[in-house]
Structure formats: structure tokens, C-alpha cells
Amino acid sequence: MSAFEVEELVIPTTVDASDAADFVISADIRGDIERESYGTDDLRLSAEELLPWFRDPKSPRRLFGVRVDGRLVARAMYDHLVDEPTTGWAHVGVLPPFRRRGIGQALAEAVEGIAREAGRSKLVAYAPSPDAPGPRIASPTGFGSVPAENPEVRFLLGRGYRLEQVERFSRLPLPFTGAVPTPPDGYRLQHWAGFTPDEWLEDMAQLYTRMSTDAPSAGLDEPEDVYTVDRVRVLEEEQAKSPLLPVTVAVEHVASGRLAGFSTLLVPREPSRAVQQDDTLVLSEHRGHRLGMLLKLANLRHLELVHEGHPSVTTFNAEENRFMLDINEAVGFVPLGHEGAWRLDLR
């Protein structure tokens, strides 16, 4: 039985609220752990930038922490889809000086217990795995592996998780100077920054929903995450409170007047910081026209027009997603690290 007390932390309405201090510190803990894992601050997000994701009513997130001598030194997050009964997502992070004291175990027990009490059948966890010598555990997809002796790997295996997938973290140096191809016959590009134009809300709701099912998820069996026009607008209203600016390029199928795919970049306010690649998707019925490459290149050019000066763009892709990795490598993305996607069956 752990001597550490796990406490649930407040999700504030704003980062300036009187009860926001723990949330702000937890964001710093997240950033410090990402830097340790990947050797870069490119993935660091401020509390203000993270808060909109915690306030999605369709995917509520809960945040937990452990203190040592009054200082918050670890965090755990649990979330689920309110309309989907089987799956929960968990993340546990402990600052390096406070590891091997049972803090991670206490946090894992807390979030796993919540999932069990809610009747969830499985938990999904993503964990960075820095490269290391020695034996490796191969992904069952046949693409990628993680070092078997890494602490996070031993921790997850010890709790009964199994590796299902490996994701690659990559970076593209900016500025982008490549050429953008002309859209193929029957397609044209649409651009916007911030809110989705009203005429594309229904199509974007469909694309976000398909993103949850069309992206490779191996044996994670990721559930469908249904978006409606109302949900898209509510989320965008929350995200508008964040300093991150969504910069989007979509491709329209001219004959139907419907969007066939899209790609979004999340752009921080400070030009000195890296841009994060968010979702990219081409609907399966429109593949085979090199629309994925078109979207990537067009949005990099769009970025230079609306928010130039950033040093790089970062992205994550499943190692078995050879189609998207081929595009990224051709554009100039370079691998920086990997994370494992793990599954714990609760029944």
C-alpha cells in the first residue's frame, strides 16, 4: 500500500482563476517530462494552451497529482468518451528525482481504479520510450519496437499492459521553401485560420469523426469519436481562448462540393516556438490522388503566409502508417524519438 496520497486536481475555468495554480504546475511537469523523453522543448505547451482539451464536455478529462513536502511532483490524467462505454485513456508522469518511490504506482492504481469502477473494458496509454541498447519488444504491427529494459516499459509490463503500436516523433525544420503542386483535376484547396467557416462545419464534423476510425490504431481498438456541428463549434470556441492558432488547409471535391480531406497545424503565439502538426486525413474514397502530400505542402506554405518565423513543425505517426511517413520523409521530417501505445484489459 503506497504512503503517497493521490489527490484530484481542479480543472479551472481559466488559468488566471484562483484555483488554477495546480493545473499550471501540472502543465510544467508535463513539459519537463516531454523534454527529458525527447531532448527538446518542442512539445511543451502552456497551461493556457492545454486547458481547452480539458474542457471538452464530450471527452471529459480528470487530473490527479501527488505532492512531496507540499510540492506537486507528479501528474496523471484520465479521460473517456461520454457516449462510448468501453475505453478509457490514461497517462502517468513523475518528475525524475521522485521516481522509484511508488508515486507512479499510486497514480496508476488511481486511474485504473476509476476505469474499472466505470465499467470500462480497457485502458489505452501512450508512453515515450527513449532509445537504449539491449533487447527490444517489437510492436505486433510488425513496425517499430521499444527497449525492453526501459523503466517505462518495465512499469507498464509489470501492471499488465501490452504493447500494441509504436509511434514515431519527427521534426521538420522551417522555413518551408518547397513547391506546392497544383491540385489534381476535380479538386481545389480551401484555407482558413481559427474558426472553421460555416459552410464547412458539417464536412469537418464528418472528417473529425472519420479521423477517430481511419487512423491506424492496431490492437488498441480505438472507438469512434462522433463529432457534430455543435460539438465542432463548442470546441473551437474553447480553443479560441488558447494562444494556439489552428491553421487549416482542406481539399474540396468539386463535383460534390464536399471536403475530401484536411490538415491542421497548431501555431503558438511566440515565433521562437515549434508548430505542432495536428490531424491530417484524406477520406479513403478520395485516396490515390496524392491529396495527402498536397495538403501537407499547402499548409506549410499557408503557415509561412499567416504566421512566419517558427523554427520547426513536429508530428507523430504510427510506424505502420507508411503512407503518411513516406509523405513526411519526402517533405523533410526527421525522426527524433518514439513512443509506445499500450493496452490494459480490465475484464
Secondary structure string (H, E, C) spanning 163-226:
EEEEEEEEEEECCCCCCCCCCCCCEEEEEEECCCCHHHHHHHHHHHHHHHHHCCCHHHCCCCCC
Domains of the chain by start residue, with CATH = 7-169 (3.40.630.30), 175-310 (3.40.630.30)
Query: How high is the pLDDT of residue 214?
Result: 87
The answer for residues whose C-beta is within 8 angstroms of residue 330's C-beta and 6 or more apart is: 293
The answer for residues whose C-beta is within 8 angstroms of residue 97's C-beta and 6 or more apart is: 73
In tens, the pLDDT along 93-128 reads: 999 999 999 999 999 999 999 999 999 999 999 999
Rounded to the nearest integer, the mean pLDDT of the chain is: 96
Tell me the percentage of the chain whose pLDDT exceeds 90.
94
Query: How high is the pLDDT of residue 1?
Result: 40
Cα–Cα distance between 319 and 141 in angstroms, integer? 9
Query: How high is the pLDDT of residue 217?
Result: 86
Query: How high is the pLDDT of residue 347?
Result: 82
312 touches 331 (CB < 8 A):
no
Q: How many residues does the chain have?
A: 347
Cα–Cα distance between 112 and 122 in angstroms, integer? 9
The residues of the chain scoring below 70 in pLDDT are 1-2
In tens, the pLDDT along 130-147 reads: 999 999 999 999 999 999
